Chain A
Amino acid sequence: MNLLHFLSGRLVKGVLVLFAIAVLNFFLIRAAPGDPAQVLAGEAGAADAQLLEQLRQRFGLNEPITTQLWIYIKGYMTFDLGFSYRQQQSVLSLVLDRLPATLLLTGAAFALSLALGIVMGALAARRAGRWSDSLITTLSLVFYATPLFWIALMSQIVFSLKLGLVPNVGYETIGANYTGLARALDIGHHLILPALTLGLFFTALYARMMRASMLEVAGADFVKTARAKGLSPGIVSRRHVARNAILPVVTLAGLQAGQLVGGAVLTETVFAWPGIGRLMFDALVQRDYSVLLGVFFMSSAMVVGFNILTDLVYRLADPRIEAAS
């Protein structure tokens, strides 16, 4: 099967999936009680029927549900994600505004966790049963099992409050007006805690997966053959074991990559990181339908996209997969 054929097939499927997701999202959100007009009126502490009527009209909620669905679908076909009346801005500009912060955070956490996880997992597998293995496995168990928000808060208390090493919240120093390199360094400084917090969780996941996978492959016949050929343990481990063991980790990484745009709601909230995750959460509690649908759609598109990409990476990592499909 050639690559082009494979790709076009997956793309068509992807578009169909996205359409189904878009429609499903629309109805799922409407099924939750409350609407944006009621939320706005409730937050204001005073409302009358006229105000609610005016708000519903602005949000387009007085149209029949099928008309609302049609307007929504029609908009998406022309890449128009709608308008947030609550925030007086187009959804696309709201999303694009928050995207860099999210990509920076999730991207940094992704790279960190993938690199660190693979190395630590491989290391643990090579030293299986020894104290360094126990240390790595225990640490990854702890980081995997501890709730993210707790790690986030504890790290703020220890590293920001007690040690004063890094800022605890925000994207950059507000009011400092840094530019160029100074600004990049400032953002990097703010990035340390959230990226580490989010990254450690995934590091733990990758490390455990890599270790288990390595140990499994290490018992296979072709590895015995390689050893019998007289190859050094390092080469056996890198070329024969690790390369085969990495496939499940790629699967997992593909799943995580799909969530890069969805943001990390908890991490972004605790660290006041101005990303997509928070945009989505705020939109949810305010029933800001258009924003919520826009973010859902964007993240679904990413998941679909990364699934296709993961399949491609599979074919590169292990050419036998192409033959099998």
Chain B
Amino acid sequence: MASAQTPKKGGSIHVVVQPEPPMLMQGLNQNGPTNMVAGNIYESLLRYDEKLTPQPSLAKSWEISPDSKVYTFKLQDGVTWHDGKPFTADDVVFSLDKFLREVHPRWRPIANGQVEKIEKIDDLTVKITLKQPFGPLILSQEVGGAPMIPKHIYDGTDYRANPANNTPIGTGPFKFKEWKKGSYIHLVKNENYWQKGKPNLDEIYWQIIPDAAARAVAYETGKIDVLTGGSVDVYDVARLSKLPNSCVTTKGWEMFAPHAWLTPNIAKGGPLANKQFRQGMMFAIDREFGKDVVWGGLGKLPTGPISSKTKFYSADVPKYAYDVAKAKELIKASGYKGEPIKLLALPYGEVWSRWAEAIKQNLTDAGVNVSIETTDVPGWTQKASNGDFDMTFNYLYQLGDPATGVARNYISTNIVKGNPFGNQGAYVNAEVDKLFADAAIAPSDSARQELYTKVQKILADDVPVLWQLEMDFPTIYRCNIKNLVNSAVGVNDGFRDAWKE
């Protein structure tokens, strides 16, 4: 076992980050690439293992009151910011109660909706009191979801215009050194890291290589040590992972568990608003083919709204195996008369285009009149945000808990313009709304499971979206790099424990 060996000290590691992040100040920006790099600089109260069990990070221990409403966090002793100032409970209160409440789109709704107060007990103790029990709180402290922000740098300033945003200061194992725009980001070891003896590596270079094929060649020629999830084309994965001294893992995405689907625009009315028609399309699409051929066998077929990789999943739902005869029957019964339907493809590269073509073929075979509509990323974002589509691809992170990562796509209060990741198909079902609302604040996990089982059954029958794939984003790396992925957010958690043989 790799973890049983004694880690070697020193060395540098070259990782690819794609695309170039807009900034590294993780409190202000939570893009994929930002989280990947900044997870080395910033830290949060908790980490999560592959089963999503909370682990200590900046909080050394925590207690939850019997009524599940008071969370008391004990902080690590002797933690300092990269500029030498001590990290205390004041920083935690500032981060959660002021900074992130103002700027963080994921923490804000929790802080405003669930939290009664956040207070400092002493320099190393923080207490969060909730208005009501809220199960997902314990999973909300991942570094991308709630990074700790230095109070002495940000308090009283205009957060977004603070010049310190260009030289991020955190408590993490690596410090920001240099960012050559268009080329690389350089992080160096934090000699004063609170966890003695860590990190093992001296430096990390995050290289920016825009072309996927060039990234693959750079890995093969040894310029790059780690290809992070999603940074190479799907059809390169098999070849690269078979190279000598090349290892591959699909772990490290349990917290996000990306779930891909087609969103029919129910608000537009017509055939897409008809449940039988949507069910017919589910039977018409050969999802197995999509997974095996388009996605090179990566991933797993979903049964409904909740990923099988996260908590509260239930397999006890109506299922849709590929069955063209049944699809035709349902589509005919729905009263469909060949109205044209446009499928807005997701402009995230070749794989998505091929997938759109495969699905178009499937639907055409079942008698649906489909055409593919293409656009660039900002165009897609605008159309998807404003409900300006018939049917579109989308994929979303589940964020560890259905209350935060799943409910948002199906509840009627989240039919909002301007956000492509809400309930964009405008699905409305009062019973679903109620079940999700009750499940979020149910006092025990068993009570929550019962409600989520119910809602999964209803949704799988109603098909508000056409679930296609529980996606896998493999990380490819040289086998002499050990302990690379050891938490539910994988590479995003930083290279604290990684070492090079």
Per-residue A-contact encoding for B415-452, CB less than 8 Å = 1, 0 else: 01011110000000000000000000000000000000
Query: Is B333 an interface residue when CB atoms closer than 8 A count as contact?
Result: no
Q: Does B76 contact A (CB under 8 A)?
A: no
Q: Is the CB of A33 within 8 A of B106?
A: no
Q: Please give, as numbers and ranges, the residues of chain A lying within 8 Å of B213 by CB-CB distance.
A: 153, 156, 270
Chain A residues within 8 Å of B182, by CB: 98, 101, 274-275, 278-279
A88 touches B214 (CB 8 A): no
Chain B residues positioned under 8 Å from A278 (CB to CB) = 182, 210
In whole Å, how far is B228's beta carbon from the nearest beta carbon of chain A? 16
Query: Which residue in B29, B203, B375, B378 is a CB contact (below 8 Å) of A175?
Result: B203
Q: List 20 A-B contacts (CB under 8 A).
A: A32-B378, A33-B375, A33-B378, A33-B383, A34-B378, A34-B382, A39-B377, A43-B32, A45-B32, A47-B421, A48-B109, A49-B418, A86-B22, A87-B22, A156-B213, A156-B217, A170-B183, A174-B184, A175-B186, A270-B214
Q: 8 Å CB contacts to B: which residues of A92-112?
A: 94, 97-98, 101
8 Å CB contacts to B: which residues of A13-57? 32-35, 38-52, 54
Q: Are A52 and B210 in contact (CB under 8 A)?
A: no
Q: Which residues of B contact A174 (CB under 8 A)?
A: 14, 183-184, 205, 207
Q: Does B31 contact A (CB under 8 A)?
A: yes
Interface centre among A34, A51, A98 (most CB of B within 10 A): A34
For the complex, count residues of A whose C-beta is within 8 A of B: 55
Complex: A48 Cα to B382 Cα, angstroms? 14
Residues of B participating in the A interface, judged by any CB pair closer than 8 Å: 12, 14, 19-20, 22-23, 29-32, 103, 105-106, 108-109, 160, 165-166, 180-184, 186, 203, 205, 207-211, 213-215, 217-218, 220-221, 223, 375-383, 385, 396-397, 416, 418-421
Which partner residue on chain B sits nearest A285 by CB separation?
A: B377
Contact partner, B382, options A38, A58, A94, A157, Cβ 8 Å: A38
Q: Which chain B positions have C-beta within 8 A of A167?
A: 221, 223
Could you tell me the distance between the alpha carbons of A269 and B385 in the complex, rounded to whole angstroms?
Answer: 29
> In whole Å, how far is B14's beta carbon from the nearest beta carbon of chain A?
7
**A160/B397 in contact, CB under 8 A:** no
CB-CB nearest in chain B for A86: B22
Task: For the complex, give the distance between the alpha carbons of A286 and B23 in Å.
Answer: 13
What is the chain B residue whose CB lies nearest that of A40? B22
* A290 located at the interface, meaning its Cβ lies under 8 Å from any Cβ of chain B in the complex: no
- Return the 6 tightest CB-CB contacts between A and B, nearest first: A34-B378, A274-B182, A42-B381, A272-B209, A34-B382, A33-B379
Q: How far apart are the CA atoms of A271 and B419 in the complex, in Å?
A: 35
Contacts of B14 in A (CB 8 A): 174-175
**Which residues of chain A have C-beta atoms less than 8 A from B396's C-beta?**
45
User: Across the interface, which residues of B come within 8 angstroms of A208, CB to CB?
Assistant: none
Q: How far is the CB of A175 from chain B (nearest CB, A)?
A: 5
Closest CB in chain B relative to A53 CB, distance in Å:
9
CB A306 to nearest CB in B, in angstroms, measures 25
| Besides A41-B419, A45-B32, 7 other A-B contacts (C-beta < 8 A) | A40-B29, A41-B418, A48-B108, A94-B181, A153-B214, A168-B223, A174-B14
Residues of A within 8 A of B416 (CB): 48-49
**B contact residues around A46 at 8 Å (CB):** 30, 105-106, 419, 421
Residues of B within 8 A of A160 (CB): 217, 221
Q: Give which listed residue, A34, A44, A286, contacts B29 with CB less than 8 A.
A: A44
Q: How far is the CB of A64 from chain B (nearest CB, A)?
A: 19
> Which B residues are in CB contact (< 8 Å) with A35?
378, 382
